[in-house]
Amino acid sequence: MLSGHGALVCLSSSFMSESLIDLTNPNELLSGVMLNAYPDSMGANVKDLVSILEGSSMAHAFSQLYLLPTFFNSDLDRGFSIIDYDLNQDLVNRRDLDQLKQAGITLKLDIVLNHLSVASPQFKDLLRHGAKSKFKDFFIDWNVFWEGKGSKDHRGVIVPEQRYLDHLFMRKPGLPVLKVPFDQGDDRYYWNTFYQQVSLSPSIIDDLKHRRAANHDLCTRLFNDLTQAVLGHEDLTKIDLTGYAINHDALVSLVRKHVSFLGQMDVNAQSPEVWVFYQDTLNKLQEYGCKILRLDAFAYLHKEMGQTNFFNKPGTWHYLDRLKTMAEQNNLWVLPEIHAEYGQHLHDQVAAQGYGIYDFFLPGLVIHTIENADHTPLLKWATEIIDKKFKVVNMLGCHDGIPVLDLKGKEIDGHFHKGLLSDPQIDRLVDLILTRGGRIKNLFGPDGSKISYYQVNATYYSALGADDQKLLLARAIQLFMPGLPQIWYLDLFAGENDHQAADRAGKEGHKEINRTNLSVAEINKRLETEVVQKQLKMIRFRNTANAFKGVLELPSTYHNTLHMIWRNGDECAEFKADLLTHAFTIKSSENGRFQDIV
């Protein structure tokens, strides 16, 4: 059990006005605690969320807020398929942003660098005007990119030569393309690294019947054939129309009328228009009150034949430096988002260039620490953060999933670089979360075969076996680790896996398992529970205590005992945990006088 219920001593407040935050000093910007949520995760909109944050139960617990990109206008992947960066008026308005500013809460927002929605003004203009569009080079025509470097398959898609395919890094099975119909009547394939959603409306059956193409049963059969062809980007002129009173030209025209498609279309960073768009976007985000700029999917932005098209070098560095310069002009601190094996040491390279990094290693390490009663890998990573002076944002749960690829080792040029966990340790971690209801996300090769696991989707509470004490211990570990703690709203409220939501979302819906929206009434109910109250007590302490602006000490202990101390002058915060029993204490001191926090 937790020991002690001593009164929280607010040693000082980081809940300060925005004007006092010095962006030239990342240590100041990365102090406090950050809440992470969708605009409608806690209540119906940001107005509800702000009211909850200002309520007595959560007052002063958070000094920063990361709102996910349904904040903007979007249509797919719960916000990460951006239509434009105007405010989504259904969820947020300027009054809400003014209220956050008055409360002294700093905003973190995304710019999704690699892609835009097919519904974006830029892509719609391209579809309408084709080669005459101002944005004709804004996106990447797959066949134009690979022209002369491969051969077309039966669909008309260029399959790059094997020497290029062998290097390509894929996020989904098959080639990363989406067939899109231009207004001029032709179809083209555009680069689409992430999600797409293509569907054929059953209303085409009525049109076929109206044209007297066939009877109802035959029209239904044709609809099923067409659906499979559309989903597979097949050539509709190859469909057998024997027995139907319709030709292929008329059929293609009819399908165009009834097909709908969504997709996150990769942008062409060699286009000047893309950089004009980035600059306009950063201007908007700065006006909204953003201080920390998360660069989503930036490592996929640079495309080059013969490279992986994931963190191509030196091209990615050139783009990153250019974006950093633009961000600094808008008083924004850049936080690149990147998932890669620890053994690849990309995190070292990014940090060495002066950027902050995400601690995607912590979620798996904390579960390993608790379930195996062994702090060895965790403290190895904590020591590395301290020794290398990394500026990190850490987390347990998030909108994506629990990273596992990140913990792995990596073979580079014939030499194996160890991971933070071994492959057998990671396998046991994955299996454990899956037995507790999690779902796996994998990476694939160009032929559709699995090449690696990527992440496990689950709420952090469920990943810990829905055990209150384990969740409290995990939260305490996170709060005492170096960096800015980012708290996923659903884990704060001890949310469990939502399998029904994941099932409703279809084959790409695994992430919905950890994205359940909570009503104001549900939140008020959960705020009364002990596991939530004790988390908030720890979070408030971490958010306001000056000790955490000092240095972290890691006294030597047995592997099943964890001891961490933050010191800043005569103030300190001390955490001790028995990893076998999961019991822990947190104490604070000022002028040598200790008080129990939990």
Distance in angstroms (rounded) separating the CA atoms of residues 143 and 162: 16
In what helix (H) or strand (E) does residue 209 lie, and over which residues does it extend?
A: helix 203-210
What is d(CA 460, CA 231) in angstroms, rounded to the nearest whole number? 34
Q: Please answer whether residues 82 and 120 qualify as being in contact, where contact means their C-beta atoms are separated by less than 8 angstroms.
A: yes
Which of 296, 491, 498, 512 is catalytic? The answer is 296
Rounded to whole angstroms, how far apart are CA atoms 456 and 537? 29
Active site residue 337: yes
E strands, 438-570, in order: 439-444, 450-457, 484-488, 551-553, 561-568
Active-site residue (options: 84, 337, 406, 512): 337
Contact assessment for residue 286 and residue 155, using Cβ atoms and an 8 Å cutoff = no
3-state secondary structure at position 591: coil
The dihedral of CA 160, 163, 167, 170: what is its sign? Answer: positive
**The pairing of beta strand 392-395 with beta strand 150-152:** unpaired
Q: What is the pLDDT of residue 448?
A: 64
- Alpha carbon distance 228, 237 (integer Å): 14
Task: Tell me the residue length of the chain.
Answer: 598
In tens digits, the chain (598 residues) has pLDDT values of 333 333 333 323 333 334 444 656 677 788 899 999 999 999 999 999 999 999 999 999 999 999 999 999 999 999 999 999 999 999 999 999 999 999 889 999 999 999 999 999 999 999 999 999 999 999 999 999 999 999 999 889 999 999 999 888 888 888 999 999 898 888 899 999 999 999 999 999 999 998 888 888 899 999 999 999 988 888 888 899 988 999 999 999 999 999 998 999 999 999 999 999 999 999 999 999 999 999 999 999 999 999 999 999 999 999 999 999 999 999 999 999 999 999 999 999 999 999 999 999 999 999 999 999 999 999 999 999 999 999 999 999 999 999 999 999 999 989 999 999 999 999 999 999 999 999 987 766 666 666 566 789 999 999 999 999 999 999 999 999 999 999 999 999 999 999 999 999 887 788 999 999 999 999 999 999 999 999 999 999 999 999 999 999 999 889 999 999 999 999 999 999 999 999 999 999 987 788 898 8
User: Cβ contacts of residue 553 below 8 Å, gap of 6+?
Assistant: 564, 565, 566, 567
Contact 118, 261 (CB under 8 A): yes
Bridge partner residues of 597 (DSSP): none
Q: How far is residue 170's CA from residue 400's CA, in Å, rounded to a whole number?
A: 17
Nearest by Cα to 403 from 313, 340, 447: 340
Give me the residue label for tokens 């390279």: 349
Answer for the pair 39, 80: CB distance below 8 angstroms, yes or no: no
pTM of this prediction exceeds 0.75? yes
CA 290 – CA 284 distance, rounded (Å): 9
Query: What is the spatial distance between Cα 525 and Cα 540, in angstroms, rounded to a whole number?
Result: 20
* Tokens encoding 271: 């286009």
Query: How far from each other are the two terminal CA atoms of the chain, in whole angstroms?
Result: 10
Give the number of other CB atoms < 10 A from CB of residue 349. Answer: 16
Return the number of other C-beta atoms located less than 10 Å from residue 448's C-beta: 11
* Rounded Cα distance, 483 and 393, in Å: 5
Among 353, 358, 351, CA closest to 406:
358
